[in-house]
Homo-oligomer: A and B are copies of this chain.
């Protein structure tokens, strides 16, 4: 056989991978330990040593989410795969799904619900705000949803959605509480069990400082009961939580082959969880909260206005800044990128209005923050960033 498509010339050269300061909304920079954790030989996906690493990750994820839920594992996919695993398992065709939509993640959850044939209802809120308990109670009483979706860390606006008191309203009305913590976990308080959260997922490339690839997830007993009583199977085998729960040893049964686990990614997740366990999750959160006050003060001192007006709603790991009038937002980003510093523009409806600066995990550091503020100030207020 002579192949008719020739080998691509471009693959003869090595890739160009410059070292950058990643202060966008993720991926963040890896620590030395996490980066090198992947430089290890592969194991089989059911080898005893790999099963031990999975078990280590499982308890690490329980620690991260502050939960004793047995059905806790990592989906083999990025953060959005976590959302799909949650929604596809918790709901079935025709059931009502209530989504708090205060940015892009609620929009995505609602879109996914429609794809799955759910009865999707939304509570739509202005960007930069969060739902009050009264708004939530009204929505739940009106729609009687099976599941309520809240994004804890709305990375398109920089809002940390308050979670206290919500599960009580949900559970009084037969609703499960689903929380997206992709951009918040480890950066602000989250205690799944104390908050009564029924399903929570996150991703590895934000506060965890690991490469994107896995979505830690956890289901409460109430959630498991709902899943076990489904009339139809989960539409996806890949995201089937009970199958994944078996593979991740959540039920104490012998592990069955489900899919080939992402060996190297799981190594990096373990390293990330070990780093958090070492610092202590409460110390990690405290560090983010202290540093963000410093960062916001520095930004305001430099003449910037923060997008989220209510201080209590600001995410301690992702800051949104109003693009000053007359400034070309993209030119500023490009100037920083030329210095190998990434910050990001808005996403969805905030595009063009804001900049987003992630200070996740090891990037929540006062020295790094000083440099960012200084670079942002220079890039913004130099002559050629003005709108023509």
Contact = CB atoms under 8 A, between A and B. Distances in A.
A28 B41 CA distance: 10
A262 B211 contact: yes
Q: Is the interface of A mostly helix, strand, loop or mixed?
A: loop
A209 to B, nearest CB: 9
A184 interface: no
B44 A24 contact: yes
A206 to B, nearest CB: 9
Contacts of A169: none
B263 A212 contact: yes
Given A35-B39, A282-B2, A264 B234 contact: no
A203 B260 contact: yes
A30 B3 contact: no
Interface stretch (A58-66, A141-149, A157-165, A366-374): A58-66
Contacts of A268: 264
A388 B213 CA distance: 45
Contacts of A55: 10
Given A27-B44, A281-B3, A115 B237 contact: yes
Contact of A81 (B36, B238, B280, B281): B238
Nearest to A285: B1
Interface string A348-368: 000000000000000000000
Nearest to A261: B212
B52 A260 contact: no
A15 interface: yes
Contacts of A18: 41, 43, 49
Counting chain B CB atoms within 10 Å of each CB, the highest count among A38, A52, A62, A265 belongs to A38
Interface in A26-48: 26-30, 35-36, 38-45, 47
